[in-house]
């Protein structure tokens, strides 16, 4: 096994600080209140919706752009977007997408991120060669993957990668995703807590129409 230093994991472990926290303004939901997020149940965006807007209805959309558009166009009252991770840094493109549309950041929420290596039936650390996940999630466990010689495979979302593996089981493929994703799609947890720092967290932006 290669050390974290050999894998260059230390270089990725820069801690981003300083994002302003907003007060916990919380309007009670009126009627059906929809919060859009990217991915599918079991995604970290889904977890952020459930934790920070309890009682709201999460709406899964394919891309971050779709979340911004849904809020701008009124299809959802709020959107939940990952903006920055403590290991991987800014989530590429999200700030530009928000700036380009008539939406504003209403609140910032820190979600602890625990990544596990999920596998299909029969998969183990001896069979898995590649690991699929969102690139920002892969960056959070780059040292762990590199030390074991596992090749990262970019996917659009952690939960969508888990869903895809469940639909096409492959003992050579693992997925870096949440425990909720493992439960949602019937995958096994092959290794727990594979993120390179225990204090891993992602700051989500809760957006609304400007
Ligand atoms: O793929 C997911 O589950 C997401 O919600 C996306 C995302 C991200 O883009 O940063 C959200 C939080 C984690 O940092 C990893 C992935």
Residue 167 has pLDDT above 60, yes or no: yes
- Secondary structure (3-state) at 144: helix
What domain range includes position 65? 33-112+201-209
Ligand 1 pocket test, pick from 66, 152, 157 with the greatest ligand atom count within 8 Å of Cβ, gives 157
Is residue 62 in some structural domain?
A: yes
Which residue has tokens 């869903």? Answer: 163
Distance CA 178, CA 41 (A): 10
- Do both 106 and 119 map to the same domain? no
Is residue 46 in some structural domain?
A: yes
Share of the chain above pLDDT 70, in %: 85
- Do both 38 and 108 map to the same domain? yes
- Do both 71 and 131 map to the same domain? no
- Do both 68 and 166 map to the same domain? no
Write the ipTM.
0.95
23: confidence class by pLDDT, cuts 50, 70, 90: very low
Instruction: Report whether residue 91 contacts ligand 1, using a CB cutoff of 6 Å.
Output: yes
Task: Mark out the alpha helices in the chain (DSSP H runs).
Answer: 4-7, 9-12, 44-52, 64-73, 94-99, 135-140, 142-147, 158-167, 179-185
- Do both 94 and 139 map to the same domain? no
Residue 16 has pLDDT above 50, yes or no: no
Which residue has tokens 């701008």? Answer: 72
Paired tokens of 175: 């997925």
22: confidence class by pLDDT, cuts 50, 70, 90: very low
pLDDT at position 122 is 95
Q: Number of folded domains in the chain?
A: 2
52 is catalytic: no
Q: Which of 152, 167, 149 is nearest to 115 (CA)?
A: 152
Is residue 10 in some structural domain?
A: no
* Whole-Å CA distances, 181 to 4, 148, 151, 154: 27, 23, 21, 17
Q: Which of 25, 129, 139 is nearest to 91 (CA)?
A: 139
Residue 8 has pLDDT above 50, yes or no: no
Residue 84 has pLDDT above 80, yes or no: yes
Is residue 11 in some structural domain?
A: no
- DSSP-assigned beta bridge partners for residue 177: 116
Is residue 2 in some structural domain?
A: no
Distance CA 2, CA 7 (A): 7
- Span 87-133, pLDDT tens digits: 999 999 999 999 999 999 999 999 999 999 999 999 999 999 999 99
Distance 95 CA to ligand 1 centre (A): 15
Residue 7 has pLDDT above 70, yes or no: no
- Do both 131 and 183 map to the same domain? yes
- Span 183-195, pLDDT tens digits: 999 999 999 999 9
- Do both 92 and 151 map to the same domain? no
Residue 29 has pLDDT above 70, yes or no: no
155: confidence class by pLDDT, cuts 50, 70, 90: very high
30: confidence class by pLDDT, cuts 50, 70, 90: low
- Do both 118 and 103 map to the same domain? no
- Do both 66 and 78 map to the same domain? yes
- Do both 183 and 124 map to the same domain? yes
- Do both 205 and 101 map to the same domain? yes
pLDDT at position 32 is 72
* Whole-Å CA distances, 40 to 49, 148, 174: 12, 28, 18
Is residue 104 in some structural domain?
A: yes
- Do both 139 and 162 map to the same domain? yes
- Span 194-209, pLDDT tens digits: 999 999 999 999 999 9
44 is catalytic: no
Instruction: Report whether residue 178 contacts ligand 1, using a CB cutoff of 6 Å.
Output: no
Q: How does the average pLDDT of the chain come out, rounded?
A: 90
CATH number at residue 137: 3.40.190.10
């Amino acid at each position: 096994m290669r050390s974290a230093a050999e894998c260059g994991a230390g270089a990725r472990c820069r801690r981003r600080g300083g994002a302003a926290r907003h007060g916990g303004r919380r309007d009670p939901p009126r009627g059906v209140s929809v919060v859009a997020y990217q991915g599918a149940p079991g995604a970290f965006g889904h977890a952020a919706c459930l934790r920070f807007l309890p009682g709201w209805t999460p709406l899964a959309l394919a891309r971050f752009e779709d979340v911004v558009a849904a809020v701008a166009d009124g299809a959802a009252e709020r959107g939940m977007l990952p903006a920055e991770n403590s290991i991987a840094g800014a989530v590429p493109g999200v700030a530009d997408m928000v700036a380009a549309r008539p939406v504003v950041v209403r609140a910032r929420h820190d979600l602890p991120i625990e990544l596990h290596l999920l596998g299909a039936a029969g998969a183990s650390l001896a069979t898995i060669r590649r690991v699929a996940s969102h690139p920002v999630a892969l960056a959070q466990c780059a040292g762990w993957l590199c030390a074991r010689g596992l090749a990262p495979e970019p996917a659009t979302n952690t939960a969508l990668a888990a869903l895809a593996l469940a639909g096409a089981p492959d003992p050579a493929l693992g997925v870096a995703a949440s425990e909720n994703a493992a439960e949602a799609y019937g995958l096994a947890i092959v290794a727990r807590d594979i993120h390179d720092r225990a204090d891993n967290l992602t700051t989500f932006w809760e957006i609304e129409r400007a």
